[in-house]
């Protein structure tokens, strides 16, 4: 049996329609972890779909819970020989809210629909489609070779879209249970639809609220305007002090001292492309002197996600009593996450905005992580993917978004290698989430090749 046969086996699973049927069944399960009414569905996903799939491949499965979690965890383990390397796989079966009414005509979050070379449905890329690709690539290798040639532990959680509550504590308390050598998982987008991609970590993320409460109730703007402070104006100026007019961050604790040479080298030739439906890049926004790829994957970004003052739907002639904004900082390795909010408070105080209250909108802060781009496992993964696809894969030091990767890298001490099966224009977290059919097939191809190569003894020592 050969590598080519394992890849052909994975492709046959796709070409016969079996992958599409499996994905359609998973999409039909509304596993919204942010919706308390869906709690029973979170357990059903693991027990009726994931457990039978993994046990059928010789895995021993156990359901884990934690008092802080929103849903259960499934840990599947297959140990062929303790002397062999152990790979930890990861995925999440929960999805963001469906937003049913906002999908285009003929589409639904809970029904897989194929249209113009794309599969539409909630979870097709985030993350049901991605971990089903990887598990079935493992199956293709196992059924071709008769064994994997390495050990696997596969973790599927059901609360990632709610911030992965309980995952950090579970991994901290049961490190031995999750002990492995390398994390190989899939989430997030490729650099673009055509180019296979590897990323080695994730930017950190912290979401916080800025608010000013000046007084009880609004007061007539004709009688009181000019002698009562306007919280909306104050908050607008406070936010404006955080960046330049072109978005350059002005809080020095929020940006790295420099862009590391290894990161700059890895990003040479990386072009961000959201496809025909993606937005046009604003070339003069953000940190001067950086390419778009360096901005997203090597630097920090600050955004205002929402703002409110008064009653926007029915404005009245009154000085508003309060103003509020939800903001977010995405940050890279080198930023002290414990100093992000204190640094903001110091900045606001220095700039004359002591009336602005700062509070975390959720307690969870994703830490920033980045495996060394020169780690031998990185070269191994890139070479394997290039061999399977005849394409040069992109190497991103970290994802632009945030994942619980710091749990795997810092708590469990693992090398972390992510191979995404999506693209930037996939409408992740939005209506009309979709997966290009070609990416799904190529994902099965390259993951079968990667798993075969690990089991062939070609992987670097751990």
Domain of residue 297, CATH code:
3.30.70.360
Pair of tokens at residue 11: 């492709």
What are the helix (H) ranges across 370-425?
376-389, 405-406
- The answer to the question of residue 271 being in a domain is no
How confident is the model at residue 43, as a pLDDT? 97
Instruction: Please tell me whether residues 45 and 191 are part of one structural domain.
Output: yes
Contact 420, 199 (CB under 8 A): yes
- The answer to the question of residue 270 being in a domain is no
CA dihedral defined by 452, 457, 461, 462, rounded to 10 degrees? 50
- The answer to the question of residue 278 being in a domain is no
Work out the average pLDDT over 263-277: 87
Last residue of a domain, one of 293, 327, 360: 360
Which 8-state DSSP code applies to residue 103? Answer: S
Contact 426, 433 (CB under 8 A): yes
Instruction: Please tell me whether residues 34 and 89 are part of one structural domain.
Output: yes
Work out the average pLDDT over 146-156: 98
Contact 419, 197 (CB under 8 A): yes
The count of domains in the chain is 2
Instruction: Please tell me whether residues 221 and 113 are part of one structural domain.
Output: no
How confident is the model at residue 277, as a pLDDT? 77
Work out the average pLDDT over 455-459: 93
pLDDT over 70 at 405, yes or no:
yes
Instruction: Please tell me whether residues 183 and 299 are part of one structural domain.
Output: no
- The answer to the question of residue 276 being in a domain is no
How confident is the model at residue 380, as a pLDDT? 98
Instruction: Please tell me whether residues 290 and 211 are part of one structural domain.
Output: yes
Instruction: Please tell me whether residues 217 and 136 are part of one structural domain.
Output: no
Instruction: Please tell me whether residues 157 and 229 are part of one structural domain.
Output: no
d(CA 320, CA 231): 7
Last residue of a domain, one of 329, 360, 391: 360
- The answer to the question of residue 274 being in a domain is no
Angle between helices 3-15 and 437-455 (to 10 degrees): 150
Instruction: Please tell me whether residues 156 and 19 are part of one structural domain.
Output: yes
Instruction: Please tell me whether residues 315 and 374 are part of one structural domain.
Output: no
Work out the average pLDDT over 229-236: 98
Domain range for residue 236? 204-264+285-360
Work out the average pLDDT over 382-408: 95
Q: Cis peptide before 73, with omega less than 30 degrees from 0? A: no
Q: DSSP string covering 116-127, please?
A: TTEEESTTTTTT
Last residue of a domain, one of 360, 378, 413: 360
Cite the beta strand spans of 151-285 per DSSP E.
151-157, 182-185, 197-199, 201-202, 204-213, 219-220
How confident is the model at residue 273, as a pLDDT? 81
How confident is the model at residue 70, as a pLDDT? 84
- The answer to the question of residue 269 being in a domain is no
Work out the average pLDDT over 235-240: 98
Instruction: Please tell me whether residues 116 and 178 are part of one structural domain.
Output: yes
| CA-to-CA separations, 370 to 179, 199, 272, 374, 398, in angstroms, rounded | 20, 9, 19, 11, 6
- The answer to the question of residue 408 being in a domain is yes
- Give percent of the chain with pLDDT exceeding 90: 94
d(CA 140, CA 11): 9
| CA-to-CA separations, 109 to 27, 34, 99, 104, 189, in angstroms, rounded | 8, 15, 8, 10, 19
Tens of pLDDT, residues 320-329: 999 999 999 9
Handedness of CA 94, 98, 103, 107 (dihedral sign): positive
How confident is the model at residue 363, as a pLDDT? 65
How confident is the model at residue 402, as a pLDDT? 82
Going by pLDDT thresholds of 50, 70 and 90, the confidence category of residue 252 is very high
Average model confidence (pLDDT) across the chain: 96
Query: Any idea what the CATH number is for the domain that residue 444 is in?
Result: 3.40.630.10
- The answer to the question of residue 188 being in a domain is yes
Pair of tokens at residue 28: 């039909």
Instruction: Please tell me whether residues 329 and 189 are part of one structural domain.
Output: no
d(CA 139, CA 65): 27
Instruction: Please tell me whether residues 85 and 121 are part of one structural domain.
Output: yes
**Comparing C-alpha atoms, which of 206, 307, 302 is closest to residue 247?**
302
């Amino acid at each position: 049996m050969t590598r080519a046969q394992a890849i052909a086996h994975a492709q046959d699973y796709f070409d016969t329609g079996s992958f599409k049927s499996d994905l359609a069944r998973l999409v039909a399960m509304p596993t919204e972890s942010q919706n308390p009414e869906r709690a029973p569905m979170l357990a059903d996903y693991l027990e009726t779909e994931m457990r039978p799939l993994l046990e059928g491949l010789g895995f021993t499965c156990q359901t884990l819970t934690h008092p802080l979690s929103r849903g259960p965890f499934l840990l599947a383990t297959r140990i062929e020989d303790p002397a062999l390397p152990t790979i930890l796989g990861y995925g999440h079966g929960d999805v963001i809210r469906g937003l049913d009414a906002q999908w285009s005509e003929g589409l639904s979050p809970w029904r897989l629909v194929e249209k113009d070379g794309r599969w539409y449905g909630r979870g097709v890329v985030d993350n049901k489609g991605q971990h089903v690709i990887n598990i079935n690539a493992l199956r293709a290798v196992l059924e071709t070779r008769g064994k994997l040639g390495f050990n696997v532990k596969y973790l599927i959680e059901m609360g990632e879209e709610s911030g992965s509550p309980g995952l950090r504590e579970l991994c901290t308390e049961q490190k031995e249970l999750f002990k492995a050598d390398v994390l190989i998982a899939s989430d997030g987008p490729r650099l673009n639809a055509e180019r296979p991609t590897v990323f080695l970590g994730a930017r950190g993320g912290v979401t916080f609220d800025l608010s000013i409460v000046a007084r009880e109730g609004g007061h007539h703007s004709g009688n009181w305007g000019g002698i009562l402070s306007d919280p909306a104006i104050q908050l607008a100026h406070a936010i404006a002090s955080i960046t330049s007019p072109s978005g350059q961050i002005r809080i020095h604790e929020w940006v790295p001292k420099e862009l590391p040479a290894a990161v700059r080298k890895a990003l040479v030739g990386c072009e961000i492309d959201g496809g025909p439906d993606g937005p046009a890049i604003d070339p003069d926004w953000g940190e001067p002197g950086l390419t778009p790829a360096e901005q997203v994957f090597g630097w920090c970004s600050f955004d205002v996600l929402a703002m409110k003052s008064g009653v926007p739907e029915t404005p009245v002639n009154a000085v508003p009593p309060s103003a509020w904004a939800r903001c977010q900082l995405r940050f890279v390795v080198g930023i002290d996450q414990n100093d992000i909010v204190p640094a903001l408070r110091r900045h606001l105080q220095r700039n004359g905005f002591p009336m602005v209250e700062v509070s975390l909108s959720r307690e969870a802060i994703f830490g920033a992580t980045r495996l060394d781009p020169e780690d031998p496992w990185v070269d191994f993964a890139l070479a394997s993917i290039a061999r399977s696809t005849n394409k040069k894969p992109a190497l991103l030091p970290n994802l632009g978004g945030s994942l619980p990767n710091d749990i795997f890298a810092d708590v469990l001490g693992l090398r972390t290698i992510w191979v995404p099966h999506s693209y930037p224009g996939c409408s992740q977290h939005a209506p009309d989430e979709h997966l290009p059919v070609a990416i799904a097939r190529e994902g099965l191809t390259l993951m079968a090749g990667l798993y075969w190569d690990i089991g062939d003894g070609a992987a670097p020592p751990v």
